[in-house]
């Protein structure tokens, strides 16, 4: 080896070793770290701000500097008492597989560029369909998250409902196409409306179906709206509401929609995983009859960011909506898979490795156990809080989500004030992290139990911290 090559090798070794030990240090101390960032965004910006670098900086200094500047602005989302939004914990096994993914530097666009990346996706796709008990013939696109999974699935839906009406949307676009009716619950996740916006279906021209107190579409309102739809139609349902964890009643909606020739798409970003857990699978009954399903790896499966899955029963519609062909790209033979045929991107990260690693590590039993444990912990937390005067659990805790109102018997504005002050107090104390959400006109605190790091002791400690914050707010008037 010449001197230059030897220097490169030792630099790589030093960098990778440094990063590995820094990451271990960070993760092993995560439980002791406050459950909130020390830096606000302006602080973090000040930590990074600098003129455009003119000269280079030695590699080790760059990495050291990155750690110094970023650390105070990191949110301990992988910590055991993080209950904000719906965020998984980037399990160490997934992270380790993801490090290799980066180090291997594979382009998972096609199977020639990386046979291993394509194969890991093919095998993981089969495992996912099996665990979630979805049609085994469905095709799976490995995307960045449920937002893009919703987009991909709805692109397939758009393609197929228009093809049946004699229109080739891939070639001819939407101008002059038969109109598509889109039925969606009034409490659907905001990212589904984004997907509709990207697809030219419009976030505002949809038919919104009235929802009940848990955010589920009302069956009577749904049936009435569906009966009025003539021609191409897409129905969008939800498995696991962001606030309540509630599921639309798929055993009712799916057969009705399909009888009318509508495509049914399910947004199941985290809730779809209930189907991998025998004790909760009843929540998702009938979902297998739908046409497409979006879910995340980076929520309940605990893969690192970013990772989601777009699953489509009609693999031809899926490919039609996503495929770009070019002469310099290799063709595919019988039984071969090019991952890019099922996603918008060509060059892309090999997400199959982390997915494969997490599924292999947890196994069917491990996934089921984790999901059930989180649901039981959510119930425990809700029960601990519900016993306290002035606290109301707003949702039926059927899954892992809990929403809490402080001062529920006060006038709305006062209850909002008490709820927001309690949330602020909890965030300042930083024993746990939870955020606020507006639910059906009133502020609530939302708790999502979805981290593989969370134990029963963390739940009990968090309940105590919430009760203490509430008592302080209440007594300070």
Q: How far is the CB of 253 from ligand PLP (least distance, A)?
A: 16
Query: Residue with the closest Cβ to ligand PLP?
Result: 145
Question: What is the Cα–Cα distance from 421 to 416, expressed in whole angstroms?
Answer: 8
Q: How far is the CB of 293 from ligand PLP (least distance, A)?
A: 12
Q: Which is nearer to ligand PLP, 141 or 308 (CB)?
A: 308
The residue among 168, 220, 169, 171 whose CA lies nearest residue 199 is 169
Question: What is the Cα–Cα distance from 375 to 372, expressed in whole angstroms?
Answer: 5
The SS3 call for residue 163 is helix
- Binding flag, residue 82, ligand PLP (CB under 6 A): no
Q: Judge residue 132's burial from the number of C-beta atoms within 10 Å of its C-beta, 0-12 exposed, 13-18 middle, 19 or more buried.
A: buried
φ/ψ of residue 153, rounded to 5 = -60, -40
Return the number of other C-beta atoms located less than 10 Å from residue 255's C-beta: 13
- Binding flag, residue 86, ligand PLP (CB under 6 A): yes
Binding ligand PLP by CB under 6 A: which of 37, 80, 88, 145? 145
Dihedral sign, CA of 458, 464, 465, 467? positive
Q: How far is the CB of 87 from ligand PLP (least distance, A)?
A: 9
What residues from 309 to 368 belong to the interface with ligand PLP (CB under 6 A)? none
Return the number of other C-beta atoms located less than 10 Å from residue 347's C-beta: 10
Q: How far is the CB of 472 from ligand PLP (least distance, A)?
A: 31
Stretch near ligand PLP under the rule CB under 6 A, chosen from 69-77, 198-206, 263-271, 339-347 = 263-271
Report residue 310 as tokens. Answer: 């777009």
Q: Which is nearer to ligand PLP, 143 or 357 (CB)?
A: 143
Stretch near ligand PLP under the rule CB under 6 A, chosen from 11-19, 106-114, 266-274, 325-333 = 266-274
What residues from 225 to 244 belong to the interface with ligand PLP (CB under 6 A)? 240, 242
- The most distant pair of C-alpha atoms in the chain lies apart, rounded to whole Å, by 77
Q: Which is nearer to ligand PLP, 296 or 338 (CB)?
A: 296
Report residue 267 as tokens. Answer: 């947004």
Question: What is the Cα–Cα distance from 463 to 402, expressed in whole angstroms?
Answer: 12
What residues from 278 to 297 belong to the interface with ligand PLP (CB under 6 A)? 296
Q: How far is the CB of 305 from ligand PLP (least distance, A)?
A: 8
Q: How far is the CB of 148 from ligand PLP (least distance, A)?
A: 7
Binding ligand PLP by CB under 6 A: which of 93, 131, 138, 146? 146
- Binding flag, residue 191, ligand PLP (CB under 6 A): yes
Binding ligand PLP by CB under 6 A: which of 267, 314, 338, 416? 267
Angle in degrees, 0-180, between the axes of helices 41-48 and 59-70, rounded to the nearest 10: 160
The residue among 440, 446, 435, 471 whose CA lies nearest residue 381 is 446
Residues found near ligand PLP in the complex (CB under 6 A): 86, 145-147, 189, 191, 240, 242, 267, 269-270, 296, 308
């Amino acid at each position: 080896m010449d001197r230059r090559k030897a220097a490169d090798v030792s630099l790589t070794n030093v960098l990778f070793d440094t990063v590995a030990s820094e990451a271990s240090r960070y993760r092993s101390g995560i439980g002791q770290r406050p459950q909130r960032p020390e830096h606000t965004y302006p602080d973090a910006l000040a930590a990074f701000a600098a003129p455009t670098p003119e000269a280079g900086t030695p590699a080790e200094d760059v990495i050291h500097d990155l750690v110094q500047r970023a650390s105070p602005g990191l949110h301990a989302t992988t910590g055991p008492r993080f209950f904000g939004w719906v965020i998984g914990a980037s399990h160490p096994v997934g992270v380790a597989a993801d490090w290799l993914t980066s180090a291997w530097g594979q382009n998972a666009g096609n199977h020639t560029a990386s046979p291993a990346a394509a194969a890991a996706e093919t095998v993981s796709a089969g495992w996912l369909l099996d665990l979630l008990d979805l049609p085994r013939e469905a095709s799976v696109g490995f995307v960045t998250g449920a937002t893009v999974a919703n987009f991909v699935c709805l692109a397939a839906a758009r393609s197929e409902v228009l093809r049946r009406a004699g229109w080739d949307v891939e070639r001819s676009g939407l101008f002059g196409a038969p109109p598509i009716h889109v039925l969606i619950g009034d409490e659907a996740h905001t990212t589904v409306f984004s997907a509709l916006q990207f697809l030219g279906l419009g976030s505002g021209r949809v038919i919104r179906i009235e929802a009940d107190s848990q955010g589920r579409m009302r069956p009577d309102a749904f049936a009435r709206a569906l009966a009025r739809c003539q021609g191409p139609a897409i129905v969008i349902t939800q498995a696991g509401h962001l606030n309540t964890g509630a599921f639309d009643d798929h055993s009712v909606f799916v057969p009705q929609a399909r009888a009318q020739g509508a495509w049914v798409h399910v947004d199941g970003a985290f809730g779809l995983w209930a189907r991998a857990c025998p004790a909760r699978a009843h929540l998702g009954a009938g979902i297998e009859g739908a046409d497409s399903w979006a879910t995340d790896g980076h929520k309940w499966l605990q893969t690192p960011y970013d990772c989601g899955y777009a699953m489509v029963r009609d693999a031809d519609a899926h490919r039609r909506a996503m495929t770009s062909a070019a002469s310099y790209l290799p063709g595919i033979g019988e039984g071969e898979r090019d991952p890019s045929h099922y996603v918008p991107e060509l060059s892309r990260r090999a997400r199959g490795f982390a997915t494969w690693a997490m599924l292999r590590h947890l196994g069917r039993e491990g996934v089921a156990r984790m999901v059930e444990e989180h649901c039981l912990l959510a119930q425990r937390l809700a029960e601990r809080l519900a016993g306290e005067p002035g606290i109301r659990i707003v949702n039926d805790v059927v899954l892992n989500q809990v929403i809490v109102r402080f001062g529920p018997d006060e006038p709305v504005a006062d209850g909002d004030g008490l709820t927001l002050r309690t949330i602020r107090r909890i965030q300042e104390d930083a024993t746990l992290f939870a955020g606020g959400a507006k639910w059906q006109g009133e502020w609530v605190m939302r708790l999502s139990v979805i981290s593989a790091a969370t134990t029963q002791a963390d739940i009990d400690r968090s309940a105590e911290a919430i009760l203490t914050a509430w008592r302080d707010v209440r007594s300070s008037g």
